Chain A
Amino acid sequence: MTRRMIFLAIACFLLASPIFAQTPGGGGGTDFNLPAAYLAMGIASGLCGLGQGKAVASAAEAMARNPGAQAGIRFALILGLVLIESLALYTLVITYVARYVPSH
């Protein structure tokens, strides 16, 4: 079922191939900077959400199992969340850089 979905998604992307058609008047190449940056940001945020979800889930379970160790587990949770968050933020910075790369 998942493999079918993936193929369907790729087919939908390929449906957009008219974007490669030559514009009348001999325009330049298509500029993929911004759309690519938006897509990258979306993927980065989604994966960051998955990773942080796993971290919070295991931290909550550990705190439920061992209420005495809450301080240490909370500390590890916060540290882990911040480090995973910073990966999505690197992509955000690249998004801002992509606006100023000259299109060709």
Chain B
Amino acid sequence: MEHESEFFLTKLFNDYLSGPANSVLTAIGHPAEDPQHPWGNWLVIELLVVAIIIILFAMLRSRLSADKPGTFQLLFEQIYNFVAGQAHDAVEHGDKYVPFFGTLFIFILFMNLIGIIPGLESPTMTPAVPAALAISVFLYYNWMGFRAQGVGKYLAHFAGPMPWLAPLMVPIELISHLARPLSLTIRLFANMFAGEKVTMTFLSLTFLFAPAIFMGLHVFVAFLQAFIFMLLAMIYVGGAVSHEH
């Protein structure tokens, strides 16, 4: 399959770092189909997003001040308050989980939005990236459940409210829990993928106004999908951690 044009950073990575990439891929048993180009666009742009976020927050950290907050700090305080407020609504003692949710939100938001820049593509457009995020959310909320309630009590949750309902409840609960990362993945991937495809389709049909409108819709959907991913992660953690009083 003919790949899309390579982003210039990907070309750099493929020229100089294809050796380590190939050895890592063969070490885990999945050698690249094209050993000349083991780095994909999505992986390089994902690393670029990580670098941008680190630099952004390093700049923020150096300008923090309690007496005279600048606009930069106020903006990020708003974002923090938003995430922390949602976390307190969804999870009891939400403060412990705000770092994870905040990282999820900012990471997904930046990855969704970087596709708007011409020449770059959203890493969330490949199914691998939302799948990895969904699996990390799955592992996180189960781990938090184990930590908050102990392994035995958390697994006893699956049996439902009455012990004699267990043979019915356990398969249903298992399937619904396994469907969560699947639905998270497909929701994020399909929204981003469809957004780009629709814009490209209208770009091939007409020009200027119709693709711009769909691109605007894509930006709105990017924000919404990042928020929804974070919100669903909060709901799952809330469900896993909640004690019955």
Contact = CB atoms under 8 A, between A and B. Distances in A.
Contact of A92 (B183, B190, B225, B231): B190
Interface string A59-103: 000000000000000000011001001100110110000000000
Contacts, number: 25
B187, B191, B225, most chain A CB atoms within 10 A: B187
- Chain A contact residues: helix, strand, loop or mixed: helix
A69 to B, nearest CB: 15
Interface residues of B, number: 11
B186 A93 contact: yes
Chain B at the A interface: mostly helix, strand, loop or mixed?
helix
Contacts of A85: 191
Contact of B186 (A78, A79, A82, A89): A89
Q: How large is the interface on A (under 10, 10 to 19, 20 to 34, 35 or more residues)?
A: under 10
B154 to A, nearest CB: 25
A32 to B, nearest CB: 23
Contacts of B187: 82, 86, 89
Contacts of A92: 190, 194
Contact of A82 (B189, B194, B228): B228
A90 B224 contact: no
A89 B194 contact: yes
Interface string B180-196: 00010011011100100
Nearest to B189: A93
Interface of B: 183, 186-187, 189-191, 194, 224-225, 228, 231
9 contacts: A79-B231, A82-B224, A82-B225, A85-B191, A86-B183, A86-B186, A90-B183, A90-B186, A93-B186
Interface of A: 78-79, 82, 85-86, 89-90, 92-93
